[in-house]
Amino acid sequence: MNVEHSVIRVLLADDHAVVRAGIRQFLEQAEDILVVAEADDGQSAIALIEEHQPDVAVLDIQMPKASGIEVTRWVRSHRREVGVLILTAYDDDPYVMAVLQAGANGYVLKTASPLEIIQAVRNVYAGYSALDATIIQKVMAQVGGTRSQVVEKPTDRELEVLVLVAKGYTNKAIGLQLGISDRTVQGHLAHIFTKLQANSRTEAVMRAVSSGWLSADLGQMEA
């Protein structure tokens, strides 16, 4: 993500006006966050993302006209520079995996404290994943249950790419860091996704950690 702006511009989408008002109030108590638009359904969220081009879209999952998952898929297809933070009451496994597979950067429950949600917005803006502790446990359980299906370990270079992915680097930044082209980075990611049977960057990193190929602090393990 671009971190040159002094203020993080946020779109807030939730179909409950009272919930939106509460979230907006505590988000804007942070001096570096500004809510530039609000939406009460998924279609409006998409239109407002196009209009305002926010840095981070904070989305509920269950919304009329288009779900948070559908909005996330649209964002990834049309405006990849927008960070997506799912803020929801739902922690069901199917929702969690669908959100991550759609390409969301973060998944935080509404039971989180205001400070935790503010920090999640900052993390997503900076390009990092922002996952509630409960969600991390669910993802690790999911990837742990499929470890036997992972038949090929990523190469050392692919693991280097994964470490930088986990740190929030874009393909271009990874290429510059490793001295390779964007196309080569894309090729490495394609191989990683195939080997780890992952559908998103977050899922790939989680699978590598679960398999013991990356350490929990996202450094590369010794062979």
Q: What is the pLDDT of residues 88-133, one digit of tens each?
A: 887 766 677 787 778 888 888 888 899 999 999 998 888 777 776 6
Q: Half-sphere exposure of residue 129, counting CA atoms within 13 Å on the CB side? A: 25
CB distance 106 to 118 below 8 Å: no
Q: What is the pLDDT of residues 129-145, one digit of tens each?
A: 777 666 666 665 555 55
Residue predicted with more confidence, 167 or 11: 11
Question: Which residues fall within 8 angstroms of residue 67, CB to CB, at 6 or more apart?
Answer: 42, 61
pLDDT at 63: 93
CB distance 41 to 15 below 8 Å: yes
Q: Read off the pLDDT of each residue in 51-73 and give the average, rounded to a whole number.
A: 93
**Predicted confidence band at 223 (pLDDT cuts at 50, 70, 90)?**
very low
Question: Which residues fall within 8 angstroms of residue 169, CB to CB, at 6 or more apart?
Answer: 127, 177
User: For residues 166 and 11, what is the distance between their CA atoms, to the nearest angstrom?
Assistant: 24
CB distance 80 to 55 below 8 Å: no
CB distance 61 to 90 below 8 Å: yes
pLDDT at 194: 86
Domains belonging to the chain, first-starting first, are 8-138 (3.40.50.2300), 145-210 (1.10.10.10)
